[in-house]
Chains A and B, each alone.
Chain A
């Protein structure tokens, strides 16, 4: 099937020039939208009857080897009721700021997906409630690993990478929040509070 989804003409009549080119690849309609209207378009796709793409399957990004070619943020949408998929792409010029409106308010599932795109590609999602690294540790300083200009082994020497990794002190970033004991922190025994606070480890003083 090479006929594009009926969503494409509907999008064009609704948003006009905010909708870019579209094509069909492996039965999958791909449509480009303008960066500045992306949130409006995606909200429309989610809520308007006849579209109802109520499930955000994935948010990811693609960086191409050609440095002139823009970085593409990909939204893979699915309508659970109509059993239809739509792939929406936003092209971000790499010379400008890599910023985009977060869709967390539309689909809460975008939370970790957008964090992953931020971690790997450095795209800032404006309006995301908790935008920080998710795969690499929080103090990771080498950049954004899935960019094409990122060397495979990273920028630093292995010794420096190892040193920074060992100094990461995971408890400082994860234990209290991620393990959901932040609320009980005040009720923990004093020695445990102290240990969690300074991050107990076997360093030589």
Chain B
């Protein structure tokens, strides 16, 4: 970052020394600076609904301590949060709630889907459960596991930091709000069906025609 050798310039009798160690300025890319600041001060909005939340609490507590990654402050208000961590299965009854919280979070914002149920519905392939929160809100990082160990969640957080460090503020589409449209969904219905499709030994599911 910046110059390494002081450059001297002679103009008449005056000698000006320009040092990279000057306390007043530094040269860098704006993207680098903003991404560095954003990635290292992520304030999580914990949305814990099930056993994943227990692992999330373990991750936040002293042994694993996500404060090391700049997540010192758990933001229990979405207005002051940067990353939504959905820890646990999401029933349809909570779908409008997580959507509201996501809408209330200011940009820039990211989300982590923690565990099999938040990511895909997991074992709950039934009438009451959202089959992956990516049908409700955009998701940046999926953490697999049932529930994921704290190491798994920390790896997810590090991946999110890596992703943030690759962003550019010139790309405004990254910060676009993806709202629930007139169709009542934020994705096309066929896409929701596709994302929610049963897998493994599951049998037929009603499809949108």
Residues of A within 8 A of B (CB): 135-137, 142, 145, 150-170, 201-204
Contact = CB atoms under 8 A, between A and B. Distances in A.
B99 A166 contact: yes
Contact of B96 (A151, A154, A159, A168): A168
Interface centre among B92, B130, B180, B193, by most A CB within 10 Å?
B92
A137 B95 CA distance: 11
A12 to B, nearest CB: 42
B68 interface: no
B125 A159 contact: no
Contacts of A157: 189, 193, 205-208
Nearest to B178: A202
Contacts of B136: 162, 166
B177 A168 contact: no
B128 A136 contact: yes
Interface of B: 92-93, 95-97, 99-100, 103, 125-128, 130-131, 135-136, 177, 179-185, 189-190, 192-193, 196, 198, 205-208
Contacts of B96: 165-170, 201
A153 B103 contact: no
Given A163-B185, A170-B97, A202-B179, A145 B128 contact: yes
Given A165-B96, A166-B96, A202-B180, A159 B127 contact: no
Contacts of A204: 179-182
Contact of A165 (B130, B182, B193, B196): B130
Contact of A158 (B97, B100, B179, B205): B205
Contact of B92 (A150, A151, A162): A162
Contacts of A153: 125-127, 198, 205-206
A169 B136 CA distance: 14
Contact of A159 (B179, B180, B208): B208
Contacts of A136: 93, 128
